[in-house]
Amino acid sequence: MKTQIFSALTMTLLLSYGSAKSQSKGFIKLFDGKSTKGWHSYGKTTAGEKWKAEDGALHFDPSGQGDGGDLVTDKAYSNFHLKLDWKVAPKSNSGVIFYVQDDAAKYGSTYFTGPEMQVLDNDGHPDGKITKHRAGDLYDLIKSASEPVKPVGQWNTAEIISKDGKLELKLNGVTTVSTTLWDDAWKNLVSKSKFAQWADFGTFKSGKIALQDHGDNVWYRNIMIKEL
């Protein structure tokens, strides 16, 4: 009997391992869990000291010594599937920005060029009262179809899938936004947003991925990407 139970448990663990391995197939880690290798602060060559690798997560600590700034990947991506986990402290704000042009001399910030998936304490931060500014939204452009965000302090899993102009945002396994980039409808959408003042915003088909420094405590982990 004990042998049968052990065998069944072993099979369950193997199946679970195989499923996890299959889900991660083709994905490459962007964060090694212990350093900021592969990242730098926007406009800099290294990561700001306020970004700390601790307990397997990237933590932006606004009380820390040194500089911060949006954390940007060293590599640019075109068609991709990005996965990561995030959590925020009470009243915190951040975001995942993509197709960022890493040219601080030409563009003052990452959001001058790249759209953003919002990361937010919906109940505690003032942005939570603004339509299209809540967690899972395509910031200031498209409101989430639903709000599957977890309570403050808990981990959320976000996904950004962009392929040949088709964009999908997911939060905790639920699609929050589905749209098309770069067509006339997209241009019209941008023209009615706060980004209309920046002519190059949302026009690029390749760029870097950024984690936003909004001056608040935020954590990111399990950051991985698959090029499509």
pLDDT tens digit sequence for 131-163: 999 999 999 999 999 999 999 999 999 999 999
Distance CA 87, CA 60 (A): 11
The maximal CA–CA distance of the chain, rounded, in angstroms, is: 71
The SS3 of residue 201 is coil
pLDDT of residue 64: 85
Mean pLDDT to the nearest integer, 164-181: 98
The SS3 of residue 83 is strand
Domain ranges of the chain: 27-227
The closest of 197, 189, 205 to 99, measured between CA atoms, is: 205
* CATH code reported for the domain at 27-227: 2.60.120.560
The amino acid occupying position 183 is D
Question: Could you give the percent of the chain with pLDDT greater than 90?
Answer: 88
Mean pLDDT of the chain: 92
pTM attached to this predicted model: 0.89
pLDDT bin (cut points 50, 70, 90) of residue 25 is confident
pLDDT of residue 84: 98
- How do residues 74-122 score in pLDDT, each as one tens digit? 999 999 999 999 999 999 999 999 999 999 999 999 999 999 999 999 9
- How do residues 27-78 score in pLDDT, each as one tens digit? 999 999 999 999 999 999 999 999 999 999 999 999 988 999 999 999 999 9
